[in-house]
Structure 1
Amino acid sequence: MSEIPMNEIAAPNLVRLPDLLLAPLVEAALVEDLGRAGDITSNATIPAATVSALVLRARDHGVIAGLDLARLAFAAISPDIVMTVVRDDGHVVAPGDLIARVTGPARAILTAERVALNFLCQLSGVATATHTIARAIAHTRARVCDTRKTVPGLRTVQKYAVRCGGGVNHRFGLDDAVLIKDNHVAIAGGVVPAIAAARAAIGHLVKIEIEVDTLAQLDEVLAVGVDAVLLDNMGPDMLREAVAMIGGRAIAEASGRITPETAPAIAESGVDLISAGWLTHSARVFDIGLDAAL
């Protein structure tokens, strides 16, 4: 990630996830890592009474996410480990910045280290990728959002990481809202039949969004009305025309080939949302180290 302003908070109004949601993820990861006999390396090389002070430091420019998962990983191995946060989730960091201090039984710290860092580095990568888009479109009204293209089992925390990076969330699951995609349209027999069938089947509080690839499809959609339109793989010029056609009658969401370089022109078309699946399925892991305190 290119250098970004320090002392910035990507998500100033961030609401943390409760430990109740995070603990099962941490427990499963620790059980996987401990195997059948626990950490035989640390147990063999570190005296049981050894107490150590280590620090979590950033090794790149980015945004932090996942500190609560790291804290729970350390605490699950030993309640005597104390993790003191210096730069919290949603904060921007630079190489060398101190993120947190970790003190306590050395064996336990080293046993929990990999699970803590796996969560912290992966989620900070998602937050950092999201922030690159959010900063690129900050001069527009558009917001960056995620998709359901998440790592299986990690959707809740990956979507939290998107919020840490200054983004907003799309659907969490198939039951959140109706999103009619191209295959639904093809099998249902067209845009209008698909919308009509969805409207007849859902409750009054459920919103409907439909994906369109052409302005002709959009014209059909607007004739019957929906809550949101997903404008897929349209260039900036076509997006501007689509936004003008919608005229505020529905939320306009753009998707397809969204990068920090392409995002500004797409956002300047006037769309409300820009969605990008790569934020969660292939964002680069953010490098954080757990090192001896100096």
Structure 2
Amino acid sequence: MSGTSRAELESLLYDDVPNGDLTTEGLGLARIAGKMTFTARDEMVLAEVESAAALLEMAGCHVSLDVQSGNRIAAGQTILTAQGKGGSLFAASKVAQTLIETWSGVATAARAIVDAAQEASPRIIVGCTRKHVPGTKSFAVRAVRAGGATMHRLGLSETVLVFAQHRAFLHDEPLSALVERLRRAAPEQKLIIEVTSLDEARAAREAGFDVIQIDKLKPEAVAQIVSAIGAGTPRPMISATGGINVGNAGAYAKTGVDMLVTSAPYFGRPCDVKVDIRPA
């Protein structure tokens, strides 16, 4: 089942075909029965195939979908087939294709980082930031999850994360006072703070933060912080962020952090899907 709302799908379809398909209608193909096949040109981890199928159905096609988001498929494998009148097939084909290509690219990139990290540390979690293209959150979240990662933050309304920029407004207020204020303001939320040094990490642990997020330090420095603050109980969760990608995820995973936080999947190469449309 697609997680995309009908309103979102209608908006995508209307954006591409607001006043009919001039080419298909001009050639008299709109009422001729046809068949369409989507085939993977690359090995990929699929995302948004259910949304693409729902969009094609909305346009008037009958869709057969044998794979699902999260599946890893080989080049040459069929993703979906659709039957319908030419007007329906041509109207929805490009939007459906682009949905799969774009978000499968994100899912494939996320899966590569998860695999690299878990090869080094099997229990580590990879979380993706909210640095997706604005307006595409629902698609981004599903693609990240299809790739085996989780969301680091869905938005400002459901997480508490203190940055240095926040502290700049607070005139060196002790971290323990910040924790006390935030516990009252959001009593059911875990409190996260971003740090950039061992001294900051020690102070954050002493103040009682639940999660210590280490930003833009080399793996060696991250490992030193984990060693220094990771012993004893209660142990804060420790995450690493800043420039993490498939090439260095393994090195960061070996530091002993619990979670890697990355934006890299959003900037990965889209996958390539071949679309073939023929008369039935």
TM value normalised by structure 2? 0.91
Q: Which one of 229, 232, 246 corresponds to residue 230 of structure 2? A: 246
Query: Which residue number in structure 2 is paired with residue 54 of structure 1?
Result: 36
State the SS of the aligned residue for 1:187: coil
Query: Which residue number in structure 1 is paired with residue 202 of structure 2?
Result: 219
Alignment check: 8 A CA contact 2:245 2:264 kept = no
Query: Which residue number in structure 1 is paired with residue 100 of structure 2?
Result: 120
Alignment check: 8 A CA contact 1:144 1:275 kept = yes
Root-mean-square deviation over aligned CA pairs = 1.8
Query: Once the 2 structures are TM-superposed, how far is the Cα of residue 177 of structure 1 from its aligned partner?
Result: 1.4
1 CA distance for matches of 2:110 and 2:2? 18
Say yes or no: does 1:288 pair with 2:241: no
2 CA distance for matches of 1:187 and 1:279? 32
Query: Once the 2 structures are TM-superposed, how far is the Cα of residue 93 of structure 1 from its aligned partner?
Result: 1.6
Q: Which one of 235, 238, 241 corresponds to residue 255 of structure 1? A: 241
Alignment check: 8 A CA contact 1:59 1:95 kept = yes
Say yes or no: does 1:74 pair with 2:56: yes
Query: Which residue number in structure 1 is paired with residue 6 of structure 2?
Result: 23
2 CA distance for matches of 1:177 and 1:120? 30
Query: Once the 2 structures are TM-superposed, how far is the Cα of residue 57 of structure 1 from its aligned partner?
Result: 0.6
State the SS of the aligned residue for 1:149: coil
Identical-residue share of aligned pairs (%):
28
Alignment check: 8 A CA contact 2:128 2:144 kept = yes
Query: Once the 2 structures are TM-superposed, how far is the Cα of residue 47 of structure 1 from its aligned partner?
Result: 2.8
Q: Which one of 237, 250, 256 corresponds to residue 264 of structure 1? A: 250
Partner amino acid for 1:39? D
Say yes or no: does 1:33 pair with 2:19: no
Moved over 6 A (4+): none
- Consecutive unaligned residues of structure 2, counting only runs of 5 or more, are none
Partner amino acid for 2:272? D
Taking structure 1 as reference, are residues 38 and 48 closer, same or farther at Cα in structure 2, changes over 3 Å only?
Answer: closer
2 CA distance for matches of 1:228 and 1:45? 61
Query: Which residue number in structure 2 is paired with residue 197 of structure 1?
Result: 181
Query: Once the 2 structures are TM-superposed, how far is the Cα of residue 161 of structure 1 from its aligned partner?
Result: 0.7
Alignment check: 8 A CA contact 1:180 1:194 kept = no
Q: Deviations over 1:222-264 (max 9, x none)?
A: 1111111111012111111221213361111111111111110
Say yes or no: does 1:91 pair with 2:68: no
Alignment check: 8 A CA contact 1:53 1:292 kept = yes
Name the count of aligned residue pairs: 272
State the SS of the aligned residue for 1:137: helix
Partner amino acid for 2:151? N
Query: Which residue number in structure 1 is paired with residue 112 of structure 2?
Result: 132
Query: Once the 2 structures are TM-superposed, how far is the Cα of residue 17 of structure 1 from its aligned partner?
Result: 5.3
State the SS of the aligned residue for 1:166: coil
Partner amino acid for 1:199? R
- Consecutive unaligned residues of structure 1, counting only runs of 5 or more, are 1-15
State the SS of the aligned residue for 2:169: helix
Query: Once the 2 structures are TM-superposed, how far is the Cα of residue 94 of structure 1 from its aligned partner?
Result: 2.1
Partner amino acid for 1:85? L
1 CA distance for matches of 2:201 and 2:239? 12
State the SS of the aligned residue for 1:179: strand
2 CA distance for matches of 1:117 and 1:189? 52
Alignment check: 8 A CA contact 1:185 1:194 kept = no
Query: Which residue number in structure 2 is paired with residue 11 of structure 1?
Result: none
Alignment check: 8 A CA contact 2:118 2:253 kept = no
2 CA distance for matches of 1:213 and 1:238? 10
Taking structure 1 as reference, are residues 66 and 106 closer, same or farther at Cα in structure 2, changes over 3 Å only?
Answer: same
TM value normalised by structure 1? 0.87
2 CA distance for matches of 1:94 and 1:46? 36
